[in-house]
Structure 1
Amino acid sequence: MYIYNWPAEKENDTGVVQQVEVCKVQGPGISGYSQNVKDVGFYLNKCMDRAQQVIPEEQHQKTPVYLGATAGMRLLRLESSDLADRVLAAVRQSLTSYPFDFQGARIITGQEEGAYGWITINYLLGKFNQNISWLRFLPRREGPQETSGALDLGGASTQITFVPLNEQIESQDNSLHFRLYGKNYDVYTHSFLCYGKDQALRLKLVSNIQDAENEVLNEPCFHPGYKRVVNISELFNTPCIKEDEKSLKFRKLVVMGTGNYSACRQSIQKIFNTTYCPYSRCSFNGVFLPPLQGDFGAFSAFYFVMDFLNLTEPGSSLEKMITKIQNFCSEPWDELKTQFHNIKEKYLSEYCFSGTYILTLLRLGYGFSEDNWKDIQFMGKISGSDAGWTLGYMLNLTNMIPAEQPLYPPLSHSTYVFLMVLFSLVLAGVFFIGWLIFRKPSCLQKGTV
């Protein structure tokens, strides 16, 4: 849960939004309560109680509350729209019990999620700011907008969004148009459902066990000495797995770690289909992707994983990252548990896979290379606010970003040139008169002692 505030006075016709509180909700995402929806209220109570403490009581009734659900709920809706509706109804019932101005709970699309993340990081980086007021009178020069691209990674989906340079977006499903602060932005965006890090791990495991003859799977994406028993029914319990792949002879899978980065990367590559492309160029699975342009902010799980691996320093080379993850994956599980005893084993055990998956997604999936790797910045916060889609979502819903520049149109070029010439002549005249006033004629200086 994120709490934002902004002053009543506006700057550049929009409020300067600041994040004042973050509350991490305990438990799984709301989609995890589909079989027990009555617990959703208890799950949200702690953070909503915290909101009552942080927000002044006199502002409770006029403080809007929004809930946006992402890929976990998109998957649940694919599985059962009735279950998804029940979860959202329980969320609404819980949030309306608080003295805030509840504005609704809904499942946002993958395209929206990508767009809101792009709005967030560019807003926080100050790339939407209008010029100071007197510059509005100058003729505006059109040109490419220097915005940052956005790379978002969650548990169930991943998004890429950026403004291509002089490139037509061949797929209209991937095209968005914004007019922000008087400037036009034609944005490319795509959300890959089932390619968040948690669902991608399922896809990879299922891909590896299709040819398995017994229930033991030697898994290179887990550390040497690691062992995990997985129920096959739980592994297949997702719309991301095709029905024809949901049949095995055994009910349990014993995962044995071998800790081999190269083998892990090769096994991850199997879940990306790069052989089919109906456009001039694609990312994977036949999805159009224009040439990458500008710098990119990588946030959410991109940042959390790389931060754990100490790989968020700007300018880190691709080679350095590969070496670091390769060494990490080869560390024995017992030694790793001792070193990071304060981290839950489930999370700790998956950092090798997640780090390898991120490099594979960025390189094979999106086409980043050693040449433009420096353009990626892994970011957790910008100016005290978390990088992510939530701020962009709130800005959009509260109409804090204007659709048009509301004030005066610029002057024409000819009028501007005339005024500048006139101003120059007046300024020259003022200097000449001043020179005459302060310089005494030579005839008055003869009798001076």
Structure 2
Amino acid sequence: PPPLSEMKEKNPWHTPATIIITVIFVIAIVALVTVAVLQNKPLPPKYKYGIVLDAGSSHTALYIYEWPAEKDNNTGRVEQTHSCKVKGPGISSYASSPLKAGESLKVCLQEAEQWVPNKRHQETPLYLGATAGMRLLNMENSLASDQVFQAVAATLQKSPFSFQGARILSGQEEGAYGWVTVNYLDDRLTQVCGLETTGALDLGGASTQISFVSSSYDGSESPSNSVSFRLYGNNYNLYTHSFLCYGKDQVLRLALAHLSQSGQSTVEDPCFHPNFTESKNYSVLYDSPCVSDRKPHGAPVAFTHKGTGNFSLCQQVLKNVFNFSHCPYSQCSFNGVFQPDLQGTFGAFSAYYFVMNFLNLTDTAIPLETVKEKLATYCSTPWPQITQQHKDVKLKYLAEYCFSGTYILTLLTEGYNFNSDSYSNIRFIKKIKGSDAGWTLGYMLNLTNMIPAEAPDTPPLPYAGYVSIVTIIALVLVIIFALCLYRFWPRCPKQPQII
């Protein structure tokens, strides 16, 4: 037999080239596995943030939003992560001491610093939008309004965030952004064409908004109520209107102004519970642009506000704050304002929700007539009994729930023309998927261009197709590699038999 050394030399597994190829092959396999593991290792998510301050007529609230940083190109879902209610009244209440308006925001801004990571502070946009309270102050005293904004801006500029400005939103903007928020959170603004949107009903302290898409409205009649959007490749023609002075706090003034026109010392009010009494100042009641021109001459300094608790009579009083006598269009809501036919479902938020939730009337299964009956029973309940049942509620808010509930029903049915059938299409909502319903999210989405006008680009191949093609190519390469090995790999000679 040949010597052992000769056999080793003839064995192809012992040639230097083969050993080198084998080592390279093993290294390549190890590298491939390592890259695959590292590539598919879950990474900690990175987020971007945005902050919006809602400066309403009765209070200010701060909202923090976040979205995936790697999906900044209009595809990452924006979610609310935190909210902070500013202590004290709305910034419009600081007209006589504007510096306090800025001071009031500091606690919530400090909270925001804790919620937004330090490394994201400087790139986080900060917005402040003021609504009807500041609209009224601007009408009444534009200088005071400017001073309040200067004080607020000075405080916000000192924050570590990227302050983008503070301004008054128009009523149309407030209504439109509220509609965007509700439909964005409800996944109604998608690339699917023809998906029916949800209408938005917003009720604040000084104004109320209604916004919805109606197939019967193309914007030609009353163009001032038309807002057009192109979102995710779909066109939306939105009807929206904001009624200044028709938020619940200002309507209370309008109703009391109607009842106190003769300047009497006692005003009996069916919108407040029996046995409710409170002394009110005439000057304070009429200290608003919504009612200032109605103050009776020769009235005493104060009057006694006395409740009688009658739902039907309260509705009659509230109907007097609407004007149904004049309509220059084919159809109107009230005060000569055009409104197309109601269509689809509606989300009612802000004061709509808080009032109806307190009254346990948010269930859409409750018929309209039953809602009226329950409210009538509640309003007729004596005031001492109400205070005993709700000891944890502030008396100021508690006293107004009968009025507010009756106003909401009157506004929806008499004002906006909801009937016993369409009333069931209203959902009273506070939050949608963890985010507060309101205009703030829609406002930020618009200013940061988070919703594209056109549908985002998609890869040329679907994921499954891409994987299939890569797999086929890999198999072809393996087969070619195997053929090469078979063709060029040195064959072992036939071993001689040892006898």
TM-score calculated relative to the size of structure 2: 0.78
Residue 102 of structure 1: aligned partner: 163
Contact 2:73–2:450 under 8 Å retained in 1: no
Q: Distance in 1 between matches of 2:284 and 2:295?
A: 14
Do structure 1's residue 323 and structure 2's residue 373 form an aligned pair? Answer: yes
Structure 2 partner of 1:16:
77
Q: How big is the shift at 1:166?
A: 3.2
Q: In the alignment, is the contact (CA less than 8 A) between 1:236 and 1:246 conserved in 2?
A: no
Q: Is the partner of 1:282 in helix, strand or coil?
A: coil
For each residue in 1:289-314, what CA deviation from the matched residue of structure 2 results, as whole angstroms up to 9, or x when unmatched? 00001010000000000000011112
Kept after mapping to 1: 8 A contact 2:200/2:346: yes
The 5 Å alignment of 1:33-72 reads: 33-72=94-133
What SS does structure 1 have at the residue aligned with 2:85? Answer: coil
Alignment correspondent of 1:290: 340
Unaligned runs of 5+ in 2: 1-61, 461-499
| Correspondence for 1:202 among 222, 243, 253 | 253
- From 228, 233, 241, the equivalent of 1:177 is 228
Rounded Cα–Cα distance in structure 2 between residues aligned with 1:111 and 1:94: 28
Task: Work out which structure has the larger RCO, using CA pairs closer than 8 Å and 6 or more positions apart in sequence.
Answer: 1
Residues 75-154 of structure 1 mapped to structure 2, 5 A cutoff: 75-131=136-192, 145-154=195-204
Match of 1:192 in 2: 243
Cα deviation for residue 161 of structure 1 reads 0.2
User: What is the one-letter code of the residue matched to 2:426?
Assistant: I
- Secondary structure at the aligned position of 1:9 is classed as helix
Q: Of 417, 424, 439, which residue of structure 2 is paired with 1:374?
A: 424
Corresponding residue number in structure 2 for 1:165:
215
Aligned equivalents of 2:457, 2:99: Cα separation in 1: 50
Whether the 8 Å CA contact 2:138–2:144 is kept in 1: the answer is yes
In structure 1, the residue corresponding to 2:104 is in which secondary structure?
helix
Which residues of 2 match residues 236-275 of structure 1 at below 5 A?
Answer: 236-275=286-325
Q: RMSD of the TM alignment (CA)?
A: 1.7
TM-score w.r.t. structure 1 length?
0.86
Q: Structure 2 CA distance, aligned partners of 1:76 and 1:14?
A: 39
Following superposition, the deviation at residue 246 of structure 1 comes to 4.9
Letter matched to residue 398 of structure 2: L
Deviation at 1:24, TM superposition (A): 0.8
Other-structure match for 1:226: 276
Alpha carbons 1:272, 1:284 under 8 Å: kept: yes
Deviates more, 1:271-280 or 1:161-170: 161-170
Q: One-letter code of the match for 1:116?
A: Y
1:165 is displaced (CA, Å) by: 1.2
User: Which whole-Å CA distance do the structure 2 matches of 1:181 and 1:12 have between them?
Assistant: 12
Return the offset for 1:372.
Answer: 0.8
- The change in CA–CA distance for 1:372 and 1:23 in structure 2 (over 3 A counts) is same
Distance 1:103 1:12, change over 3 A: closer
Give aligned pairs, total.
398
CA contact (8 A) 1:12 1:130 kept: no
2:113 and 2:121 in contact (8 A); partners too: yes
Residue type of the partner of 2:283?
A: S
Residue 317 of structure 1 deviates from its aligned partner by 1.0
CA contact (8 A) 2:179 2:199 kept: yes
Amino acid in structure 2 at the alignment position of 1:7: P
The Cα offsets for residues 30-81 of structure 1, whole Å up to 9 and x where unpaired, read as: 0000101111232111111100111111111111110000000000000011
Q: Which has the larger radius of gyration?
A: 2
Residue equivalent to 2:359:
309
In structure 2, distance between residues paired with 1:245 and 1:287: 26
Runs of 5+ unmatched residues, structure 1? 132-141, 411-449
> 1:431 is matched with which residue?
none
How many Å apart are 1:192 and its aligned residue?
Answer: 0.1
